[in-house]
Amino acid sequence: MGFQLSASQLRNYHDRGYLCLASHFHRDEIDLLRSTAKEDRELENHAFKKSDGQGNPVSLSVWNHPGDDIYGMFARCRRVVDAAEQILGDEPYHYHSKMIMKEAGIGGAWSWHQDYGYWYHNGILRPQLTSCFIAVDAATERNGCLQVIPESHTMGRLEHRRVGQQAEVEPERMRAVLENFRVEHIAMRPGDVLFFHPNLLHCSDANHSEAPRWSMICCYNARSNQPFKESHHPSYTPLHRVPDSTILSLGAKGFSRDTSGPGWLQKETHQDTRTTPDRE
């Protein structure tokens, strides 16, 4: 039996542009992910930093293909993939995943942006994608939790400009958005998840606290929406789903112990923000 979102949950996602699911992962599952990630030298070796334009860096690692490690089990488990299929109304495939490592006291901010503001340039014709944001650490206003603008996905794709090593929505339009729409801070406990639309406007402040704020984001594209040209993210690749129980049965297997090949994105890929596949 797969995982099923309720009709009201789906309606909330499509109306508001996002859906919060509290305690979607159990404490022992998220503790295992956290401890594995923070000890995984391979994850650290492939991390790169992006400046927020204020001299504050955010570290992240990005990979294309979910393997047989703990990260792959989260990205392939039915609790996530079945929900993505309902949201997309189509077979989902793994577009990429990333671990965002916003460290205590120094983790930088993310400007207001839409993910489709980046992914449009990768040859994706429709914003028929969804992202699953998994809180690895607690996310609070003080340590730079995600901020979203409900219903902003209905505005369609907005123009972005470069700031630091990121892209942000053109300032004049963003000021108008903020005058007409409210901002919601998404405080999350470890194990909570947020599914959100690729045109949802979101940002986050720098981490001014003494607590780190790590998060893992799994992004999915619809099979019928595969890109018309090659980019640094894959076209349709069948996604083998695994039972939710596989997370704990696998144990602490990180990238350092997985030979399946995650398809790391190289650091030099991220120099041009028009195609940079990060975001949060």
Q: Give the tens place of pLDDT for each residue, 192-207.
A: 999 999 999 999 998 9
For 229, residues 6+ apart whose C-beta sits below 8 A from its C-beta are 122, 123
pLDDT at 188: 98
What CATH architecture applies to the domain 14-271? Sandwich (2.60)
pLDDT at 48: 86
- In 3D space, the residue among 279, 249, 253, 219 whose CA is nearest the CA of residue 75 turns out to be 219
In sequence order, what DSSP letters do the residues of 72-86 get, joined into one string?
Answer: HHHHHBHHHHHHHHH
pLDDT at 87: 98
The rounded distance, in Å, linking the Cα atoms of 138 and 30 is: 11
Calculate mean pLDDT across residues 55-76: 91
Domain residue extents for the chain = 14-271
Torsion angle of C-alpha atoms 161, 167, 170, 173, degrees rounded to 10? 160
pLDDT tens digits for range 109-149: 889 999 999 899 999 999 999 999 999 999 999 999 999 99
pLDDT tens digits for range 16-33: 999 999 999 999 999 999
Strand 166-169 to 184-186 pairing: unpaired
Least confident of 49-53, 209-213, 220-224, 227-231: 49-53
pLDDT at 52: 62
CA-to-CA separations, 213 to 48, 141, 192, in angstroms, rounded = 16, 11, 13
Judged by DSSP in three states, 48 sits in strand
Angle at 230 between CA 229 and CA 233, to 5 degrees: 125
Beta-sheet strand order (sheet of 129-135): 18-21, 193-196, 129-135, 213-222, 92-102, 57-63, 48-51
Positions of E strands within 43-179 = 48-51, 57-63, 92-102, 110-113, 129-135, 146-148, 160-163, 166-169
The DSSP call for residue 190 is: T
Mean model confidence pLDDT for the chain: 90
pLDDT at 51: 66
Q: With a cut of 60, say whether residue 47 has pLDDT above it.
A: yes
The rounded distance, in Å, linking the Cα atoms of 161 and 72 is: 33
pLDDT at 254: 87
| pTM score, whole prediction | 0.92
Amino acid at 96: H
pLDDT tens digits for range 148-176: 999 999 999 999 988 766 789 999 999 99
Calculate mean pLDDT across residues 232-257: 93
Residue with tokens 């989260």: 74
Q: How far from chain centre, in Å, is Cα 52?
A: 17
- In 3D space, the residue among 205, 202, 270, 207 whose CA is nearest the CA of residue 233 turns out to be 270
pLDDT at 105: 84
